[in-house]
């Protein structure tokens, strides 16, 4: 028994000693090896290192590709959100720009109305069109001025270009205007060249014609028609339109003329309501004449 145990211990201990000695000698030998031997080992290990490096570099490239791809996806999503926000902002700015443009155009039109008011002797109130008739029963518009602004029924409505129509109904803050193209509107007109008077009235077809022109009147196509200033809430000389055609039927006592209105009713946005068709100076003159006549009658 003792004979079997002893050789095993000797062999085991010796082997370990031999391995340790060989390893130590190998290290010393590598350090002490000539330079060409070290180059040999380097030349042998370099290809092995290159082979081992291939999968490592592949994994590194794949990792970099995944990272770059994720960064691109994230950047694309961020850019998409920014583009959406910029698009909304552009739409908002366009809307604001359109509003400012509309305000600028409205200011220009109102400035033109104010200038017209300052240079005309009659009294007027500026108003805006806030509604249009969609009915076939009448041709009219709704204004944003009413009884609180001194507006009354039968007042004339015009623009700096010419006649619009007449007030037919009022509320506290609004009023309804029948346009000159409505059959229920009749205005006393005057042919400017011939000085012949007639009634300017609308038709069911939304046209305008002038009736009761004297049969011997030399009125012709192209003549200008204005208000006579005697009735209808308009001063004298406001432009109505132009004669487009003369109609004279056999047996009729008067001539009839088709009139093209000077005002474009579809594009009309601001108007002037004539609150006093006579100039202030003319009204004072009339009052003075009446007073002097009463004084003369009293003296007699």
Non-local (6+) Cβ contacts of 97 within 8 A are none
Which pLDDT belongs to residue 74?
65
From residue 290, how far is each of 122, 230, 284, 286 by CA, in Å?
21, 18, 10, 6
From 168, 161, 118, select the one nearest 143 (Cα to Cα): 168
Which pLDDT belongs to residue 49?
54
Four-way CATH pick for 124-278: 2.40.160.10, 3.20.20.370, 2.40.10.350, 3.40.50.620: 2.40.10.350
Using CA atoms, how far apart are residues 300 and 22, in angstroms rounded to an integer?
A: 163
At 88-99, the pLDDT tens digits run 888 777 777 777
Beta bridge partners, 189, equal 198, 227
Which pLDDT belongs to residue 258?
95
Helix (H, G, I), strand (E, B) or coil at 262: coil
Which pLDDT belongs to residue 173?
94
From 206, 208, 232, 210, select the one nearest 139 (Cα to Cα): 206
SS3 content of the chain, % helix, strand, coil (to 5): 45, 25, 30
| CA 72, chain centre distance (Å) | 39
Q: What is the pLDDT along the chain (300 residues), one digit of tens a residue?
A: 444 444 444 345 556 666 666 666 656 655 555 555 555 555 555 565 555 556 666 666 767 767 776 667 667 677 777 787 887 888 777 777 777 776 776 677 667 667 766 667 788 899 999 998 867 778 899 999 999 999 999 999 999 889 999 999 999 999 999 999 999 999 999 999 999 999 999 988 889 999 999 988 999 999 999 999 876 689 888 999 999 999 877 678 899 999 999 999 988 999 999 998 765 444 444 455 555 556 655 655
At 7-45, the pLDDT tens digits run 444 345 556 666 666 666 656 655 555 555 555 555 555
From residue 33, how far is each of 26, 38, 49, 279 by CA, in Å?
10, 7, 22, 128
From 165, 139, 159, select the one nearest 232 (Cα to Cα): 165
Residue with tokens 């001025």: 145
Half-sphere exposure for 69 (CA within 13 Å, toward CB):
6
Non-local (6+) Cβ contacts of 280 within 8 A are 121, 123
Using CA atoms, how far apart are residues 212 and 228, in angstroms rounded to an integer?
A: 14
Residue with tokens 């007027």: 124
Using CA atoms, how far apart are residues 78 and 80, in angstroms rounded to an integer?
A: 5
Domain spans of the chain?
Answer: 124-278
Helix (H, G, I), strand (E, B) or coil at 269: coil
Which pLDDT belongs to residue 190?
94
Which pLDDT belongs to residue 232?
67
Which pLDDT belongs to residue 91?
79
Which pLDDT belongs to residue 61?
72
Please indicate, yes or no, whether the overall pTM of this predicted structure exceeds 0.75. Answer: no
């Amino acid at each position: 028994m003792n004979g079997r145990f002893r050789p095993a211990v000797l062999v085991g201990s010796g082997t370990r000693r031999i391995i340790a000695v060989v390893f130590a000698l190998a290290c010393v030998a590598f350090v002490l090896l000539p330079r060409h031997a070290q180059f040999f080992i380097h030349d042998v290990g370099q290809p092995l290192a290159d082979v081992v490096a291939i999968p490592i570099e592949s994994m590194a490239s794949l990792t970099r590709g995944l990272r770059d791809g994720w960064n691109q996806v994230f950047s694309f999503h961020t850019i998409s959100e920014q583009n959406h926000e910029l698009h909304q902002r552009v739409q908002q700015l366009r809307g604001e720009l359109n509003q400012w443009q509309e305000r600028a155009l409205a200011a220009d039109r109102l400035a033109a109305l104010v200038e017209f008011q300052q240079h005309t002797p009659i009294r007027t109130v500026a108003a805006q069109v806030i509604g249009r008739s969609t009915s076939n029963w009448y041709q009219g518009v709704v204004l944003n001025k009413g009884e609180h602004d001194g507006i009354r029924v039968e007042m004339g409505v015009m623009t700096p270009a010419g006649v619009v129509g007449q007030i037919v109904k009022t509320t506290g803050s609004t009023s309804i205007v029948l346009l000159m193209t409505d059959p229920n509107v009749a205005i006393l007109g005057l042919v400017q060249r011939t000085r012949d008077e007639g009634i300017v009235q609308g038709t069911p077809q939304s046209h305008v014609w002038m009736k009761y022109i004297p049969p011997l009147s030399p009125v012709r196509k192209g003549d200008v028609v204005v208000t006579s200033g005697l009735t209808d809430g308009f001063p004298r000389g406001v432009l109505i339109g132009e004669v487009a055609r003369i109609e004279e039927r056999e047996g009729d006592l008067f001539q009839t003329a088709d009139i093209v209105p000077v005002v474009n009713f579809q594009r009309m946005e601001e108007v002037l309501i004539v609150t006093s068709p006579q100039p202030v100076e003319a009204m004072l003159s009339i009052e003075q004449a009446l007073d002097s006549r009463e004084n003369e009658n009293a003296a007699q």
